[in-house]
Every structure is written in structure tokens, then in C-alpha cells.
């Protein structure tokens, strides 16, 4: 496939018109949602039976054959396919991870492809870990593969890091294989420090990452209300030199650097490239796939265009469409959903523009989708308090209950009320290391010792609010810069040690810590397996035994150091310093110290999370809160069709998290700043026969009398000739109505069609 052609199409995608009207675009019951329908004739249908292949597998690997027998025909077809280029359209809940894993096992055990000749690329460490663990479980009593054989199994970033370290052209870019990795927050600190220390004039510093991406992709310097360029380009030049001097890379660098390297020289061309969640790829990741390929490479990608919800990361639904149009690709599908009950799945399917067989239920019909009107979020939260108590009493574990939100800002009030009323709950989100003071400090201590030119980590160690001795700020940077001016030091850490010794003599313990960090490399090399970093670094003093958090901090740090020890012993390759550096790179990539397999996350009760965070999860009972228009879809200025398509896919993802019970709520009086009256107009796509409509808003509340309200309407409410008012089109008259829709004439705006159940109309 010509991925260069794909790049051109991605870059030439039409921009939204300033006159784009979201209500006009999506109010109609038949409004199109996804433009890239897979034509039925592009699917390669499965055979009626694959027993002959399974029999051959059984002779070689009985355990694998037993697992393959449990797959349906669509899944078996994808696993057994020997097509060189295969795109698998895996509908939600269809077992895509199972298929991907069995594909790898089939290629390895039956076709004899070494695991080291496969690149298996994922988007989350959780997915990568799950795939590895499933593979290892099939080795029974035989010797499992070591980490070296699986070194190209992981996220795009972790595989890129591995390839960069192995590439002979790395030093031409000014880096060495022991480079350190900055996460997004560390990158922001790094850039802000450069702006201050070099006295640069950079506008919109709170949106710096967005500005850098615009410059990198479109060479755009002017931003917002700026009339003249600022020092953005100078910042980029300085940061590039600083990264090279300090042997640092950020996440974006990992992909761009390996693409640069592979264009110069392809050092690794896997026999098979396997990609999970293919719909989430961005341009640079597609380019990486291309750079890993040649005419002999096999390509197997699994994805679902209906779950493409990460445009803000650079992914685009156009990718799937271009692969579908490429006739050299075989297109297969997984249409059978094993998760969601029939009626809920039918309701979710109405949000898609697909052929009738695109998503097929395998479970019983179950309950209808419930749409419930609450007066506001307070009333909704207290409704959940009673509801969850009842559900739990009837046998549903609290961990099988989730409340979804479009934005994080909506969560706080529910968390507060649940805690007040004794409902165990947990806000599910990626906890950042910097939100865990002791672990974040430990991370920076180790980075400072392992990478002695990492100035930002050094500063964070000694300016930590909880554990440091200095005050961060421009004054400290200025004093340090003047101190080192005209002097030569072996590293930034040595320079800072001398700085402390001369300027801050009273902090003897911190001067000693600096000396110990300077000796960390020699300590690791000399001690080998007998490593006790807690004792070597004298961490007990800095954790302040008199502190109220002392016991928790000590426990957290010792657990983290145990994780590092476990990782280094498991992956040891001959150099203890290098393996500890590799371990800390993994911590940066994953965002936590639990870098070994089998991470178990214990939920405390009901899950509160955004729809984005819920992707890939499933619950027995799911409640989507505050789904007013303006929230779903989230209103954004100058957002066009692509934004609304993604917002509707986001609603589809929300509905398909539920196994048996799904409720969507909307508020008569929403506290969200951009919420509009009435439920999301996306719900117009769902026929009333699939819905159960409930109104629990308190009609006696005096505020209802003065608050415009778009009510949840019964089908019998609409009659031909009734005068109605619409928030956009004004006064109109009903011309026809039935159980499904109502047609109104709005004079100069013409006739408009709405779903009867959700027509945003008020009788005059």
C-alpha cells in the first residue's frame, strides 16, 4: 500500500466552513454520521468450516487447537488467513484482542514465525501487557520466550525506544543509547525553564504544546490574537540543542527520531507487523509502519472506525477509508457482539451509518435504553445514591456500576455526594506520578543519578515542596547560571553539587545526597544484585519520620523500589546500570512504577469516569450523566462535520460499555457552562420503540416555571396543525406526525423532520 498517498489525503482534508451549522447538519432523523462505510462487497466472507486447519493445529499444539475451536467463523477466518495485507474491521465487543493474540500464536507455533520477527504495536501498556500474558500462558511446560524475543511487542513509543537504542545512526543526532525520556509534564517543565532562563518572549505559554504541534505540522507561528511572531522558533532551536546536550527525548521525539533513522537505514524489517486499535493511528505512526515495511512484509491490523475518538491526538477516520479503498488489502470483519444485550445494541447501532449486518447481537434482547430527565445534577446524584443501593442489594457488585461523563468537570459533584452518602466510588483516571509526591520525588532522584545531565530532574529533587531544601523560581535559575558561567563540570549534577556546597552550606544532608547521586552509577555496577537504594540514598531522613504521611510514603517508595528490582532481575542483560536506566525509561513511558506484568487495579466501588477513559471497559450497569445538547455533542466554536462525527462515535462508545442496563440522563437546568435545553439531538437517531422515557424532574420546583424547558415528549402529544416553537427555527406548524417522526413547516426555513420522542419543540 502507498502510505505516501494516504499522507497526502490526510493533509488535504477540507477544513470546516465558518458557516457550518451543527443543528442543521444533525437534527434530521436520517442525518449521516460516518462517511466511511465499508461496502459489503469489500468483505471477504468466511468459509463454512475450518475444522481441517484446526486438526493440523491439534497435531502440533493441542492447547492452541482447543482455544481455536471456541472461536466463531469470522474469528477463525482472520486467524488462519495468510493474506499479506489484511485489515480486520472488529466491531465493539467482538473479541478483537482474542483474535489478535491467537493470530500471533498461530503464526509462531504453526507457521514457525519467530516472535522476534514480529512487531506487535498497541496504544496502551495495558493492551501490550495483556497480549504478552496471553501468549506466555500457551507455553505450558516449555521454556517461555525471554524479554529479548518480545522486545518489539509494546506501545508505539516503547517499540520506537527499542529501535532507536539499536540503530547505528543514533549518535549522528547527538544522542547516545542511554537517553532519558521525558513525559508530557516533564516536557512542559523543560520548556518553561528554557523560556525563563533564556528570557524568551513566548505567548500563550499555557497552550505551548498545541502551538508546537501547529508549528511542526503547518509551520504556524502566529496564534490566537497575535499580530507578530514571538520567540517560538528560538525556543524550538534551544530545546533541540538542550535535549542533545542532556541526552533527553520526549514522547514526540521517539516517533520522529525513529522515522528519521529508518529512512536513513532500515535496521529491522519484521516478517509480520500486527497493529491493535488501528483507527487511533496518526500520521507519524502510519509513517513508522511504512518505514518498518518492505515488499515482503505482512501486515495485519485490527480496528473499529466507529470507535475513532482521538482526533485531538492526531488520529483520523480517513485512515480506515483509505485502506478500504486500496484493493491490495483484504478486508475482513468481526460483526458479532458478545457484550451488550440486544435492545441496547440496536439502540447504539442507530448511531452508525452501516449496513444491517455490520453489528450483530449474540445475546438476548434484554432491557430498553432508558432516557431519564432530572432537574439538575444534584437531583441526579441523589437519584443514583438510592438507585445504586437498590442495585447492590439485588446482587450487582458496585464494581459493575459506572457513571460516565463527557467532561471531567462534571464528575466532582457526584464524587462529593457519593462520599457524603456512603456510596463507595472511585474516579477512574490515569493517576500522574507528580500527583503522588513521594513517588514523583523518587523518580526524579533516580533520574538525576542515572542521567546526571537531566537538569529538570535535578531541580525537582532539591526544590520539592515536600522533600526539598530550595525554593524553585527564576531567582534560583539565575543564581545557578551565574555560578557555572565560565566553569567546566563533568555533568550538570556535579555543577549543582558544587553550587550547593558553596551557596547552601547549611544543607549538609542535601549536599551529601548530591554526592551519593553522583556515585550511583558506580554503586549499581559494584553491588550488582545486592542493591539497596533506600539505604544507599538515606531516604529515611528526607521522608521526615515526624510527618503524618511518613508510613505511607515509606511503603510507597519501598514498593516502587521492589518493582524496579523485580524488573531489573527479570530483564538483566549484563549491565546493571543500563538495566536500571531501562527500568526508569519504562516508568516514564507507563507513568507509574508498576512496570511488571500482572498489574491489578482494585476499584473501591462505583466507577466515575469520562467516556474517553471508559473505552475498552465494560460494566453491567452504565449511566451517562448530563447528556444535554452542548455537552453531547460538546459545543466548540468553528468545529465542523468531523468534530460532530467524532462526538457521535463517542456516544456510541458510551452506549456499548453496558452489558445489561443503560441509562442516559439530561438536565432541565444544567450547571454545565455550555449546556443547552433538552437532551442531545444525537438521540434523534434512535427510534422511540427502543427507548423507555422517564421524567423525574420535580415539577413543583418554582425554578421550572421560569426556566425554558424542552420536555421529553410522548408520541400522542403531537397533532397536525399544532403551533410550536423551535429554539433555532422559531415558530412553525406541525404538518404530519406518526410514531416515529414529526414534520414541521417553519416558513422561510422550510419543512424540518424530527424524531417524535426527541423533538425540541414547545407548544405555543
| Residue 709, in any domain of the structure | no
Q: Name the band, by pLDDT with cuts 50, 70 and 90, for residue 730.
A: confident
Position 704 scores a pLDDT of 34
- Answer yes or no: do 501 and 441 share one domain: yes
Is there a binding annotation on residue 207?
no
| Residue 674, in any domain of the structure | yes
- Pair 153, 128: CB distance under 8 Å: yes
pLDDT digits (tens, 9 = 90+) for 461-481: 999 999 999 998 889 999 999
Mean pLDDT along residues 302-314: 79
Mean pLDDT along residues 711-725: 68
- Answer yes or no: do 224 and 261 share one domain: no
pLDDT digits (tens, 9 = 90+) for 433-447: 888 899 999 999 999
Strands 762-763, 369-374: pairing is: unpaired
> How many other C-beta atoms lie within 10 A of the C-beta of residue 30?
9
pLDDT digits (tens, 9 = 90+) for 340-367: 999 999 999 988 865 445 788 889 999 9
Position 354 scores a pLDDT of 57
Position 261 scores a pLDDT of 93
pLDDT digits (tens, 9 = 90+) for 456-466: 999 999 999 99
- Pair 399, 607: CB distance under 8 Å: yes
Position 179 scores a pLDDT of 92
Mean pLDDT along residues 753-763: 73
pLDDT at 248 over 80: yes
Position 504 scores a pLDDT of 92
Is there a binding annotation on residue 638?
no
> What is the C-alpha R_g of the chain?
29
Q: How far are the Cα atoms of 666, 679, 739 from residue 79, in angstroms, in the given order?
A: 43, 43, 45
pTM over 0.75: yes
- Answer yes or no: do 743 and 666 share one domain: no
Q: Name the band, by pLDDT with cuts 50, 70 and 90, for residue 671.
A: confident
Question: Closest Cα to residue 589, out of 569, 613, 565, 567?
Answer: 567
| Residue 489, in any domain of the structure | yes
Q: Cell for 737?
A: 406526525
What would the DSSP string read from start to end of 661-680?
EEEEEEESS--STT--SSB-
pLDDT digits (tens, 9 = 90+) for 8-37: 444 444 333 334 444 444 443 333 333 446
User: In angstroms, rounded to a whole number, what is the distance separating the alpha carbons of residues 664 and 680?
Assistant: 10
- Answer yes or no: do 283 and 408 share one domain: no
Residues with Cβ within 8 Å of 576's Cβ and at least 6 positions away in sequence, in order, are 524, 525, 527, 528, 529, 531, 568
Q: What is the average pLDDT value for the chain, to the nearest integer?
A: 85
Position 644 scores a pLDDT of 85
At 203, phi and psi to the nearest 5?
Answer: -85, 160
Position 700 scores a pLDDT of 40
Is there a binding annotation on residue 492?
no
**End residue of a domain, out of 224, 246, 268:** 246
- Answer yes or no: do 155 and 205 share one domain: no
Question: Closest Cα to residue 266, out of 241, 234, 243, 295?
Answer: 295
> How many other C-beta atoms lie within 10 A of the C-beta of residue 394?
7
pLDDT at 714 over 50: no
- Of 27-41, 552-566, 596-610, 691-705, the range with the lowest mean pLDDT is 27-41
- Answer yes or no: do 459 and 536 share one domain: yes
Mean pLDDT along residues 630-653: 84
Q: Please give the distance of CA 57 from its chain centroid, rounded to a whole number.
A: 36
What would the 3-class secondary structure string for 268-290 be? CCCCEEEECCHHHCCHHHHHHHH
- Answer yes or no: do 747 and 673 share one domain: no
Q: How far are the Cα atoms of 301, 472, 562, 662, 693 from residue 366, in angstroms, in the given order?
A: 33, 59, 47, 11, 16
Is there a binding annotation on residue 92?
yes
Q: Name the band, by pLDDT with cuts 50, 70 and 90, for residue 743.
A: confident
pLDDT at 633 over 50: yes
At 653, phi and psi to the nearest 5?
Answer: -60, -40
Is there a binding annotation on residue 224?
no
Is there a binding annotation on residue 672?
no
- Answer yes or no: do 686 and 607 share one domain: yes
Position 443 scores a pLDDT of 95
Position 29 scores a pLDDT of 34
pLDDT at 657 over 50: yes
Domain count, the chain: 5
pLDDT at 680 over 80: yes
User: In angstroms, rounded to a whole number, what is the distance separating the alpha carbons of residues 279 and 318?
Assistant: 9
- Pair 709, 416: CB distance under 8 Å: no
- Pair 65, 58: CB distance under 8 Å: yes
Position 545 scores a pLDDT of 84
Is there a binding annotation on residue 735?
no
Domain containing 113: what range? Answer: 40-165+256-336
- Answer yes or no: do 151 and 295 share one domain: yes
Residue with the larger pLDDT of the pair 269 and 569: 269
Mean pLDDT along residues 148-159: 93
pLDDT at 147 over 70: yes
CATH code assigned at 132: 3.40.50.300
Position 312 scores a pLDDT of 66
Question: Closest Cα to residue 336, out of 320, 352, 357?
Answer: 357
User: Where do we find the cell 485489515?
Assistant: 87
Q: Name the band, by pLDDT with cuts 50, 70 and 90, for residue 712.
A: very low
Residue 726 DSSP SS3:
strand
Q: Cell for 597?
A: 506484568
Q: Vertex 15, ends 14 and 20: CA angle to 5°?
A: 115
CATH code assigned at 745: 2.30.30
- Of 6-15, 217-226, 620-629, 733-742, the range with the lowest mean pLDDT is 6-15
**End residue of a domain, out of 336, 353, 387:** 336
% of the chain surpassing 70 pLDDT: 88
Which run of H or E residues covers position 101? helix 96-105
What would the 3-class secondary structure string for 578-623 be? HHHHHHHHHHHHHCCCCCCCCCCCCCCCEEEEEHHHHCCCCEEEEE
pLDDT at 3 over 50: no
What would the DSSP string read from start to end of 432-450?
-GGGSHHHHHHHHHHHHHH
- Answer yes or no: do 71 and 153 share one domain: yes
pLDDT at 454 over 70: yes
Is there a binding annotation on residue 95?
yes
**End residue of a domain, out of 671, 690, 709:** 690
Q: Answer whether the bond into residue 633 is a cis peptide, omega within 30°.
A: yes
pLDDT digits (tens, 9 = 90+) for 558-586: 999 999 998 888 877 667 888 899 899 98
- Answer yes or no: do 240 and 263 share one domain: no
| Residue 733, in any domain of the structure | yes
- Answer yes or no: do 85 and 160 share one domain: yes
Position 762 scores a pLDDT of 80
Position 430 scores a pLDDT of 59
pLDDT digits (tens, 9 = 90+) for 196-207: 999 999 999 988
User: In angstroms, rounded to a whole number, what is the distance separating the alpha carbons of residues 559 and 594?
Assistant: 9
- Maximum C-alpha span of the chain: 90
- Of 284-288, 528-532, 731-735, the range with the lowest mean pLDDT is 528-532
pLDDT digits (tens, 9 = 90+) for 370-401: 999 999 999 999 999 999 999 999 999 999 99
Amino acid at each position: 500500500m502507498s502510505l505516501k498517498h494516504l499522507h497526502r489525503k490526510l493533509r488535504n482534508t477540507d477544513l470546516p466552513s465558518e458557516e457550518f451549522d451543527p443543528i442543521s447538519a444533525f437534527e434530521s432523523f436520517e442525518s449521516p454520521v460516518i462517511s466511511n462505510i465499508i461496502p459489503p462487497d469489500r468483505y471477504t466472507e468466511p468459509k463454512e468450516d475450518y475444522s481441517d486447519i484446526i486438526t493440523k493445529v491439534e497435531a502440533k499444539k493441542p492447547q492452541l487447537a482447543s482455544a481455536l475451536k471456541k472461536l466463531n467463523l469470522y474469528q477463525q477466518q482472520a486467524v488462519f488467513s495468510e493474506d499479506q495485507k489484511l485489515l480486520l474491521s472488529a466491531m465493539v465487543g467482538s473479541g478483537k484482542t482474542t483474535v489478535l493474540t491467537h493470530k500471533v500464536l498461530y503464526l509462531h507455533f504453526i507457521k514457525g514465525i519467530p516472535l522476534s520477527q514480529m512487531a506487535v504495536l498497541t496504544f496502551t501498556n495495558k493492551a501490550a501487557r495483556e497480549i504478552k500474558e496471553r501468549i506466555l500462558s500457551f507455553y505450558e511446560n516449555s521454556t517461555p520466550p525471554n524479554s529479548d524475543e518480545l522486545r518489539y511487542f509494546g506501545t508505539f513509543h516503547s517499540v520506537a525506544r527499542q529501535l532507536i537504542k539499536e540503530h547505528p545512526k543514533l549518535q549522528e543526532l547527538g544522542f547516545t543509547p542511554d537517553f532519558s525520556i521525558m513525559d508530557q509534564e516533564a516536557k512542559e517543565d523543560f520548556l518553561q525553564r528554557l523560556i525563563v532562563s533564556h528570557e524568551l518572549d513566548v505567548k500563550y505559554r499555557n497552550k505551548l504544546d498545541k502551538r508546537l504541534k501547529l508549528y511542526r505540522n503547518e509551520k504556524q507561528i502566529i496564534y490566537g490574537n497575535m499580530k507578530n511572531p514571538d520567540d517560538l522558533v528560538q525556543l524550538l532551536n534551544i530545546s533541540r540543542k538542550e535535549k542533545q546536550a542532556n541526552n533527553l527525548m520526549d514522547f514526540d521525539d521517539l516517533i520522529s527520531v525513529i522515522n528519521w533513522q529508518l529512512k536513513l537505514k532500515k535496521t529491522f524489517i519484521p516478517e509480520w507487523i500486527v497493529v491493535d486499535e488501528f483507527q487511533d493511528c496518526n500520521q507519524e505512526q502510519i509513517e513508522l509502519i511504512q518505514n518498518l515495511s518492505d515488499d515482503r512484509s505482512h501486515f495485519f491490523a485490527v480496528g473499529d472506525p466507529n470507535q475513532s475518538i482521538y482526533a485531538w491526538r492526531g488520529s483520523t477516520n480517513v485512515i480506515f477509508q483509505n485502506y478500504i479503498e486500496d484493493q491490495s488489502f483484504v478486508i475482513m470483519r468481526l460483526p458479532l457482539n458478545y457484550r451488550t444485550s440486544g435492545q441496547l445494541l440496536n439502540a447504539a447501532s442507530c448511531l452508525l451509518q452501516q449496513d444491517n449486518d455490520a453489528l450483530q447481537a449474540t445475546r438476548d434482547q434484554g432491557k430498553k435504553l432508558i432516557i431519564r430527565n432530572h432537574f439538575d445534577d444534584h437531583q441526579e446524584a441523589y437519584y443514583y445514591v438510592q438507585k445504586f443501593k437498590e442495585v447492590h442489594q439485588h446482587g450487582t457488585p458496585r464494581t459493575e456500576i459506572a457513571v460516565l461523563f463527557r467532561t471531567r468537570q462534571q464528575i466532582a459533584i457526584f464524587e462529593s455526594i457519593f462520599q457524603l452518602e456512603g456510596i463507595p466510588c472511585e474516579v477512574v483516571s490515569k493517576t500522574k506520578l507528580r500527583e503522588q509526591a513521594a513517588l514523583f520525588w523518587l523518580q526524579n532522584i533516580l533520574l538525576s543519578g542515572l542521567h546526571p545531565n537531566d537538569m529538570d530532574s535535578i531541580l525537582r529533587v532539591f526544590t520539592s515542596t515536600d522533600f526539598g531544601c530550595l525554593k524553585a523560581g527564576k531567582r534560583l535559575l539565575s543564581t545557578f547560571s551565574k555560578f557555572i558561567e565560565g566553569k567546566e563540570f563533568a555533568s550538570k549534577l556535579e555543577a549543582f553539587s558544587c553550587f550547593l556546597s558553596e551557596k547552601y552550606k547549611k544543607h549538609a544532608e542535601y549536599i551529601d545526597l548530591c554526592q551519593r547521586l553522583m556515585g550511583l552509577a558506580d554503586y549499581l555496577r559494584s553491588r550488582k544484585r545486592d542493591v539497596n537504594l533506600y539505604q544507599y540514598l538515606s531516604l529515611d531522613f528526607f521522608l521526615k519520620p515526624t510527618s503524618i504521611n511518613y508510613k505511607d510514603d515509606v511503603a510507597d517508595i519501598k514498593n516502587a523500589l521492589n518493582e524496579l528490582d523485580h524488573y531489573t532481575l527479570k530483564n538483566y542483560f549484563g549491565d546493571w546500570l543500563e538495566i536500571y536506566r531501562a527500568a526508569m525509561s519504562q516508568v516514564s513511558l507507563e507513568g507509574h512504577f508498576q512496570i511488571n506484568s500482572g498489574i491489578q487495579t482494585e476499584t473501591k466501588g462505583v466507577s466515575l469516569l469520562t467516556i474517553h477513559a471508559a473505552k475498552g471497559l465494560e460494566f453491567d450497569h452504565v449511566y451517562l450523566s448530563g447528556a444535554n445538547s452542548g455537552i453531547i455533542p460538546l459545543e466548540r466554536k468553528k468545529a465542523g462535520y468531523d468534530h460532530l462525527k467524532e462526538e457521535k462515535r463517542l456516544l456510541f462508545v458510551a452506549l456499548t460499555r453496558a452489558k445489561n442496563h443503560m441509562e442516559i440522563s439530561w438536565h432541565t437546568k444544567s450547571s454545565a457552562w455550555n449546556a443547552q435545553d433538552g437532551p442531545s439531538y444525537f438521540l434523534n437517531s434512535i427510534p422511540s420503540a427502543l427507548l423507555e422515557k422517564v421524567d423525574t424532574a420535580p415539577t413543583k420546583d418554582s425554578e421550572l416555571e421560569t426556566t425554558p424547558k424542552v420536555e421529553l415528549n410522548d408520541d400522542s402529544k403531537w397533532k397536525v396543525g399544532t403551533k410550536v416553537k423551535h429554539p433555532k427555527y422559531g415558530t412553525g406548524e406541525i404538518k404530519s406526525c406518526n410514531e416515529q417522526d414529526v414534520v414541521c413547516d417553519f416558513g422561510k426555513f422550510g419543512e424540518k423532520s424530527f424524531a417524535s420522542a426527541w423533538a425540541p419543540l414547545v407548544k405555543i
